[in-house]
Amino acid sequence: MEARIKRRRTAARNAAEVEAAEAAGVPMVPLAAPGRRTGPRAVQRAARIGAAEAAVAAAEVVEGSEPATPPPVTIPLPAPPPTEPEPEPEPDWQAEAPLPAVEGPPPEEEVEDDERAPGPRRRGPRGDKRSLRAARTETSTDASHYVVAPTAQPAQMRVRHYGVIAMFFLCVVVPSISYSWYLWTKAADQYESDVGFGSRTEETGSTFDFLGALGGTTQSGSKDMDILNQFIISQELVAKVDAAVDLKAIYSRPVDDPLNAFHPDGTIEDLVAYWQRMVLINYDNATGLMNLRIFAFDPVDAQNIAQVVLVESTRIINDLSQTAQADTTRYSQDVLRATEAKLAEARLAVLDFQVRNRIVDPSNAIANQLSVVSTLNQQLAGAQIELDMLTGTVPASDPRVAQLNRRIEVIGNRIAEEQAKVGANSDAPGFATLMAEFERLKVDQDFAQQAYLSALAAHDQALTDAQHKTRYLATYVTPTLAESSTAPNRPLTAFMVALIGFLLWAVTVLVYYALRDRR
């Protein structure tokens, strides 16, 4: 059913276009020639072509020519196919009123696009809206509706244009010419002296390095060349160089060059700022090499300044080396002093014990006492043997028996007394107690002596390592003597001044016009 409704709408639209073309007197292209199509789309295309030809003719009439008007040709439309009566469909979005007749030729582009478009044209509300839009475009593109606008007036100079030109002269032309004139007429020549050096450290492996690895010791700190890099631009070095070669007098010699010369009445802070302009440091952190470019208004002065800088740099590296050596041996020296004090205390304790007990070596005294006890035991045994031999052979009243008994008794008492001195058979302090105290003091003395010997060996090793880890400044470029001036670079400096002025002028103009456009 929808297909039938579309066909009927197409036929009605074609009929309306043909009637509108006939009412407007637009000639129609004949379609009865053999090989031409006579369908609805062909009828539409013929109507559009006729409208275009009518527009061209109207344009020629406007220009003053009298084009020949072709006779109108009526194009028979094919009768729509018979349709069966159907119930009237309910109104929906497809039910629209037929489009009104549109006058005016369609643009050639639309005709060409229509001829090249493959397949059937889109139907429905969207297709009808597109046809209406195309018809309005055809009407608006009629040559009779074009109005020739007057040409633009020639540009004229304004006040702001003169201001931009004046600012260009003030920011670019005048500074460039003035500074260029100063460079080539007033600026004094500067001579360069180069010096290059690097810090070297000689390190020898120690026999106790494995102890440091086991203990996990690490070393950290700034490199010597980093310290030297900051020292060269410091006030201390500037003051020393000034005291050695009189920097203020050297840098204030050019009288006609006030922009590059140093003022003789300047302070040390001014001299440090000026020094950083005249000394260029090129330090390669990867290789640890430093190259200095020192400028002066005389080549000999530049070389002398470079020589003083080299001497002071060598001195600061030597001071760093001595400080590192002192830091390396400081701990070992402290340990050595502590062990020496402990050893002295232990020796004094032993000496006090010997003086108090009047014994040089208790072990020797005990050995002698034991020897006496052993001799008495032998004598006691001999007397006992003699008594046993007399017993049974002589009467008990024999004086020899009484004498032997007395001898045995005396020897026994002596043995008891001697054993009491050793401390074996008595609770009183004797040689055993003295020996215990002496052994304790002797152990303390031996331990202090061993600690002292270890600390002394460590101190000696620290001194050896400190001597092996020496720092020195290796110079690979001695201070050079210039033969020609290398600064100032007049062409480059003049170009940079012109470039900076131009950028300033351009930024100012852009900002002004941006603010003006926002009003």
Per DSSP, 90 falls in state P
User: Looking at residue 324, what is its pLDDT?
Assistant: 77
**Mean pLDDT of all residues in 489-503:** 93
| Cross-strand bridge partners of residue 472 | 200
pLDDT at residue 411 is higher than 70: yes
Return the percent helix, strand and coil in the chain, to nearest 5.
60, 5, 30
pLDDT band at 117 (very low <50, low <70, confident <90, very high): very low
What CA–CA distance (Å, rounded) separates 385 from 401?
12
Percent of the chain with pLDDT over 70: 64
Higher pLDDT, 388 or 340: 340
Which residues are CB-contacts of 498 (< 8 A; sequence separation ≥ 6)? 172, 175, 176
Beta carbons of 189 and 297 less than 8 angstroms apart? yes
**Cα radius of gyration (the chain):** 63
Alpha-carbon gap, residue 348 to 445, rounded angstroms: 9
Given pLDDT bands bounded at 50, 70 and 90, which one contains residue 33? Answer: very low
The residue type found at 499 is: L
Which range scores top for mean pLDDT: 58-67, 218-227, 303-312? 303-312
pLDDT band at 275, cuts 50/70/90? very high
Cβ contacts of 289 within 8 Å, gap of 6 or more: 196, 197, 198, 225, 283, 476
Structure-token pair, residue 35: 């090989």
Q: Please tell me the distance from the alpha carbon of residue 304 to that of residue 218, in angstroms, as a whole number.
A: 42
In this predicted structure, which of 70-84, 219-233, 329-343, 419-433 has the lowest mean pLDDT?
Answer: 70-84
- Answer yes or no: is pLDDT of 404 > 90: no
Q: Give me the chain's average pLDDT, please.
A: 74
Q: In three state form, how does the secondary structure of 331-390 look? A: HHHHHHHHHHHHHHHHHHHHHHHHHHHCCCCHHHHHHHHHHHHHHHHHHHHHHHHHHHHH
Q: What is the pLDDT of residues 69-99, one digit of tens each?
A: 444 444 444 444 444 444 444 444 444 444 4
The domain ranges of the chain are: 2-145, 165-187+488-519, 192-332+469-485
Contact by Cβ (8 Å): 471, 200: yes
Structure tokens at 231: 């020292």
Could you give the CA distance from residue 25 to residue 112 in angstroms, rounded to a whole number? 24
Q: With a cut of 70, say whether residue 353 has pLDDT above it.
A: yes
- Give the mean pLDDT of 40-68: 60
| Identity at 39, one-letter amino acid code | G
Q: Residue 428 has what pLDDT?
A: 41
In angstroms, the CA 58 to CA 94 distance is 37
- Alpha-carbon gap, residue 195 to 238, rounded angstroms: 17
Q: Identify which has the larger pLDDT, 321 or 207.
A: 321
Question: What's the rounded mean pLDDT across residues 241-249?
Answer: 91
Looking at residue 87, its pLDDT comes to 47
pLDDT tens column, 288-307 = 889 999 999 999 999 999 99
Instruction: Please report the DSSP string for 110-156 in residue order.
Output: HHHHHHH--SPPP-SHHHHHHHHHHHHHHHHT-GGG--PPPPPPPP-
Residue 332's pLDDT band, with cuts at 50, 70 and 90, is confident
Q: Pick the range with the lowest mean pLDDT from 67-71, 254-258, 353-357, 415-419.
A: 67-71
CB 362 within 8 A of CB 431: yes
d(CA 350, CA 407): 42
In this predicted structure, what is the pLDDT of residue 97? Answer: 42
More confident residue, 475 or 427: 475
Helix, strand or coil, per DSSP, at residue 302:
helix
- Of 74 and 313, the structure prediction assigns the larger pLDDT to 313
Question: Residue 224's pLDDT is what?
Answer: 82
- Of the listed ranges 134-148, 219-233, 333-347, the least confidently predicted one is 134-148
Model confidence at 471, in pLDDT bands (50, 70, 90)?
A: confident
Q: CB neighbours of 465 closer than 8 A, spacing ≥ 6? A: 204, 206, 328
Query: Which residue's structure tokens are 């809206």?
Result: 129
